[in-house]
Chains A and B, each alone.
Chain A
Amino acid sequence: MYEGLDQWDYVVAAYAVGLIALGWLLASSWRAMARAEKRREELKRR
């Protein structure tokens, strides 16, 4: 274990990377689903 390093910096960095990636994945998947289903409904009505 490296002495003198602030261990919390590494913990915060790891969670920041993981949660930002997960947030992007959730947002992009939700948007793709909403856009595709909206387009299908619009086409059905036409």
Chain B
Amino acid sequence: MHIYANPKRFLSLARWLMPLMLWSGLAMSAGAIAWGLFAVPQDRLMGETVRILFIHVPAAWLGMGGWGALAIASAALLIWKHPLAAIAARAIAVPGMVFCAICLATGSIWGRPTWGTWWVWDGRLTSMLVLLFLYAGYIALSQATAREGGSQKIAAIFALVGAINIPIINRSVVWWNSLHQPPSITAGQSSIDPVFLWPLLAAVIGFSLVFGALVLMRMRALIAEAQVEARLRRRALDDDTPAPTRAGPAMETA
């Protein structure tokens, strides 16, 4: 992990890994969506709307997994002071928030024909909405501290405290009554028919690869911005410092 504390070494890895993850992820996601839309039969209860599964579930997984990764990066910042941890956490936040929003929007669209309503204030939907607000709060906090030159530790602590919401989302359908179905996939077991499960797994892997590529893209942007800022600051300091040949003798005679 600490091998990549050096931005140069990290960038040499990200330069080939990012396009690889992006193109393989896009190809796999497109294949999984086509599989889910055109090759999978309709469900006995949900009819054709079962096809929303192949975008809703990967979005939910990445919305929640994104915050998990953000919390791990924040812990790495607080415990090991890893130089890239704050950059990784900031790079995860926006993609995580977008996938969380996709999960909420596609879930709402799916709810109308299956539940008869766009929205209910139950445990699962409300805790997922709370996650969206947590992402917004983290983005505002980390951007403000980066702009004002404050410590990224405040945003890291916020990310760790917010991680409490992840098990709440996961267990919400077990703890409280909900229109949302109980967990279909638990450790090593699945109640989903293989005809739906395999394209779903392909979609989850494909979208996860795209998510990884997005994080690497945003990390490269943040590193480049930091390097530009550091170079400009160094140049400004050099311009302000009087050259020894001009100022030196003058200072001595004074």
Residues of A within 8 A of B (CB): 1-2, 5, 7-8, 10-11, 13-15, 17-19, 21-22, 24-26, 29-30, 32-33, 35-37, 39-40, 43-44
9 closest cross-chain pairs (CB), A and B: A36-B224, A7-B48, A33-B221, A14-B106, A32-B221, A36-B221, A18-B55, A29-B217, A14-B109
Contact B110 A29 (CB under 8 A): no
- Cβ of B220 within 8 Å of any chain A Cβ, yes or no, is yes
Residues in B with CB closer than 8 Å to A32 are 217-218, 221
A25-B214, A36-B222, A37-B224 known; 19 new pairs, CB 8 Å cut-off, are: A1-B45, A1-B113, A7-B49, A10-B110, A10-B112, A10-B113, A13-B109, A21-B101, A21-B102, A26-B214, A29-B94, A29-B218, A33-B217, A33-B220, A35-B221, A37-B220, A37-B221, A39-B224, A40-B224
15 A-B pairs in the complex with CB atoms less than 8 angstroms apart: A1-B113, A14-B56, A14-B105, A18-B59, A22-B98, A29-B94, A33-B218, A36-B222, A36-B225, A36-B228, A37-B220, A40-B224, A40-B227, A40-B228, A40-B231
Interface string of B194-238 (1 = CB under 8 A from A): 000000000000000010001001101110110110011000000
Flag whether B68 is at the interface (Cβ < 8 A).
no
B49 touches A15 (CB 8 A): no
B52 and A11 within 8 A (CB): yes
List the A residue with the shortest CB-CB distance to B215: A29
> Who on chain A is nearest to B116 by CB?
A2
Q: From DSSP, what is the main secondary structure of chain B's interface residues? A: helix
Binding site for A on B (CB under 8 A): 33, 37, 45-49, 51-52, 55-56, 59, 94-95, 98, 101-102, 105-106, 109-110, 112-114, 116, 210, 214, 217-218, 220-222, 224-225, 227-228, 231-232
Complex Cα distance A33/B214, Å? 10
Contact of B102 among A17, A30, A35 (CB under 8 A): A17
Known: A18-B106, A33-B217, A43-B231. A11 touches B48 (CB 8 A): yes
Whether A36 pairs with B220 at a CB distance below 8 angstroms is: yes
